[in-house]
């Protein structure tokens, strides 16, 4: 599961009981580490050894990923986010791949995965924005589904910043808001604020 805080903040938040189980909502306890993996950054790479958390209530364990990475993807959130933003602005996958120095097939895979989920991601973004204080748009704008999804997620980010301050990078917060499911999996529904310090992994300030 993706935790909406930086890697260095996961350990103290875990020890303080501020990271909750996404299945039952109980606080997680430290439970060793997952295998080490390489994350490809914009330039170069770095090694990541994610922490594990254990839920005493439902006896489940979870790999706690910082929002700097997208589950099941080798590249970091920033790189994938740049590709998605460029696609929303009309760039093709080959142009984006050349700009980011990535294989065209890799970038095409990101864009196709995001495109297949664009309508669901747009709804997710607007639900988050509305739960944080925004108003639902009166009509669907005349733009591509990918561009509209990015716009909806941008509104969610802006309202998060309005409520909690600039606690995370744009794409990192959106990865956390979707529960790590920016490119695959079941999207998270926004909670009623305030609930617990960690909302299925998204750690809210305070």
Tell me how far apart the alpha carbons of residues 124 and 1 are, in angstroms, rounded to a whole number: 18
Q: What digits encode the pLDDT tens for the residues 175-185?
A: 888 888 899 88
Closest CA relative to residue 66, chosen from 173, 164, 189, 198 = 173
Tell me how far apart the alpha carbons of residues 171 and 178 are, in angstroms, rounded to a whole number: 11
**In the prediction, which pLDDT does 64 show?**
92
Model's pTM, two decimal places? 0.86
Cα of first residue to Cα of last residue in the chain, in angstroms, is 21
Domain ranges of the chain: 77-184
Q: What digits encode the pLDDT tens for the residues 39-66?
A: 999 999 999 999 999 999 999 999 999 9
CA angle 109, 111, 115 (to 5 degrees): 120
**In the prediction, which pLDDT does 95 show?**
98
Q: What digits encode the pLDDT tens for the residues 165-202?
A: 887 789 988 888 888 889 988 786 665 544 433 443 45
């Amino acid at each position: 599961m993706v935790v909406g805080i930086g890697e260095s903040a996961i350990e103290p938040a875990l020890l303080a009981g501020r990271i909750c189980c996404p299945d039952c909502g109980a606080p997680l306890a430290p439970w060793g580490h997952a295998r080490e993996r390489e994350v490809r950054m914009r330039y170069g790479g770095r090694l990541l050894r994610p922490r594990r958390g254990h839920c005493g209530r439902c006896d489940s364990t979870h790999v706690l990923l910082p929002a700097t990475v997208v589950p099941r993807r080798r590249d970091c959130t920033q790189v994938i986010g740049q590709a998605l933003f460029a696609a929303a602005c009309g760039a093709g996958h080959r142009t984006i791949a050349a700009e980011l120095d990535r294989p065209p097939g890799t970038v095409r895979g990101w864009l196709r995965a995001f495109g297949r989920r664009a309508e669901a991601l747009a709804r997710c973004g607007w639900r988050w924005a509305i739960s944080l204080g925004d108003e639902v748009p009166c009509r669907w704008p005349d733009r591509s589904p990918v561009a509209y999804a990015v716009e909806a997620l941008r509104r969610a980010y802006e309202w998060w910043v309005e409520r909690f301050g600039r606690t995370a990078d744009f794409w990192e917060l959106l990865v956390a808001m979707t529960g790590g499911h920016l490119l695959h999996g079941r999207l998270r529904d926004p909670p009623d604020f305030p609930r617990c310090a960690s909302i299925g992994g998204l750690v809210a300030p305070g």
